[in-house]
Every structure is written in C-alpha cells, then in structure tokens.
Amino acid sequence: MNTLKQNNSVQLPLFDYVPTFELPRLTNKTITVWFSCGVASAVAAKKTIELYGKNNKILVVNNPVKEEHEDNKRFLLDVQEWLGVEILSATNSKYPNCSAVEVWEKEKFMSSPHGAPCTAQLKKIARYQFEATHLSHYLVMGFTAEERLRHLRLMAEERDDLLPVLINLGLSKEDCFGIVMDAGIKLPYIYLLNFPNANCIGCPKSESPTYWNLVRQHFPEIYAARAKQSRKIGCKLVKVKGERIFLDELSPETKGGKIKSWDCGIFCDVAE
C-alpha cells in the first residue's frame, strides 16, 4: 500500500483513504472550540455556533499565555461579545501565572525539534486538565481551507473527533481576516506589525532571523530578555545560513525568507 509518511510515526494511506471533510449532523453533543486569539479560531467558533449551537452545547475555550501581546485580551473580549457566549480559560495548575518564561526557567529548555515545553505545559497539559472536568464529544480548531494536511495529521496522530468546520466551508485564513473585520472587530494589534499569528512575542518555536529581528525592532526589551535567558539555558534559537546561533549573536541586519506561520496550538507540534 502506498502511504504518506508523517514524522516517522503515522502513515496516511494515499489510495485507500479519501478524506471528505464532511460535517456530521449532531444533536445533544458537547463541542469544544479552542480559541487561540487568532482570527481563524474566532471564525471557527462563530461558524460552529451557527451550525451546531441550536441543538448542541458549545464551549469556547482559550489557553491564556502571559507572553502574548496585551491586545489579545481586548480581542478576546470583542470576540466573546460577537459570539454571544462566554470564552472559558484552560490553564495548567502547575503554572498558575501561565508564563512561558517561567516554564523555560523551570524546565531548563526553550525549544527542540519535538516542540517547546511551553506548548506542552500551557496548552497540552492545560487541555488535559480542562477535559478532565468538561466532557466533550467533538473538538473544533482554527484549521483553515489551506490546512487540510494539518487537520488530517491531527486526526491520525491524536484525535479523531475533530470537526473540520473551516475546511468544510472552504474558508481560508484571508477569508477569516475579512469576516472578523466585517464584523467590526479590530484585529489583534500584533498582526498589524506583520507578525504571522497572534502567538507569544518572542516565541522560541521560530528560528527565523527575520522573525527575531522583527521582535527586536518592535519589542527590544523582550528581545533582550529572550537573548539573556536563552544564553543562560544554552538554547540557540535562531538559524542563519543553516547554522544555529544565539540571539545575542544575531546581526540586526540579517534577514531570512518570509516569516512562516507556526503552530503553538494545543496539541504540541503544534494554533494559529
């Protein structure tokens, strides 16, 4: 059988499995939408409520992280009003301050090819703790029409109860920007500075010199703090011409390619 190999662990059959991205009819179920303070998950929550809210219970949940831009909180409140439901918080009881900086300090590492400890502690374990007290039959995330493979990978690796709401509706990330703006909601400020997502500022999952110099340009104190902490921990966060270097070795003039969006997400490869 021909397969598509993912991360040496999961093989998606190419010919025996044809994904449909259809949405099931549901009644009396609980659907949890994970809202990341990005536009895609905001629209995913809105569409889920429109599609399923009448006959099902919808929970919209956010994992707060202290290192996100403070305007994310304003965006969350605006989205909450738009949705007409309370956005709940899922946190890890081991890290009540929800601080990625604290996680790096305690875990003594910031990032590796397998992910970042802040994702694991503040997103993944926070989710497990939330799910331990909130029964949920289905999940929705902000995977857009261009992210079918991510959806399939997550279905194959971790959860088969994921509803492809945005993919089924054919909504791209650009569409989501339009829908949020048409609703009269100001985008999270961080997008206006050309950051590709509303994740934390100075996220160790990015190795792009372009990204780190954008952080240095707009948030010099955060850049300096990341440089100091990563030097202390021994983590070379940035890659220049194929070689990993410390942030304090990065020239302000160095540029890489376009900054790619990356996942923080709740499933630790990993949302917008």
Candidates 40, 76, 79, 100: give the one binding ligand SF4 (CB under 6 A): 100
Residue 244: alpha-carbon gap to chain centroid = 24
Copy the structure tokens of residue 149.
């493979």
- CB nearer to ligand SF4: give 153 or 205: 205
- CB nearer to ligand SF4: give 47 or 124: 124
d(C-alpha 237, C-alpha 235), whole Å: 6
- CB nearer to ligand SF4: give 116 or 163: 116
Neighbours of 50 (CB within 10 A): 12
Candidates 44, 49, 76, 122: give the one binding ligand SF4 (CB under 6 A): 122
* Binding residues among 194-253 for ligand SF4 as defined by CB under 6 A: 199-200, 203, 205
119 binds ligand SF4 (CB under 6 A): yes
Let me know if 81 is exposed, middle or buried by CB neighbors in 10 A (0-12, 13-18, 19+): exposed
Candidates 43, 59, 116, 152: give the one binding ligand SF4 (CB under 6 A): 116
Window of 118-126, 169-177, 185-193, 244-252 that interacts with ligand SF4 by CB under 6 A: 118-126
264 binds ligand SF4 (CB under 6 A): yes
CA torsion sign for 187, 188, 193, 198 is negative
- CB nearer to ligand SF4: give 51 or 126: 126
Tell me the number of residues near ligand SF4 by CB under 6 A.
12
Window of 116-124, 135-143, 165-173, 216-224 that interacts with ligand SF4 by CB under 6 A: 116-124
Window of 86-94, 114-122, 168-176, 186-194 that interacts with ligand SF4 by CB under 6 A: 114-122
The long-range contacts involving 223-226, CB below 8 angstroms and separated by at least 24 positions, are 223/247, 225/101, 226/202
Site string for ligand SF4, 67-86 (x = CB under 6 A): x-------------------
The binding site for ligand SF4 (CB under 6 A) comprises 65, 67, 100, 116, 118-119, 122, 199-200, 203, 205, 264
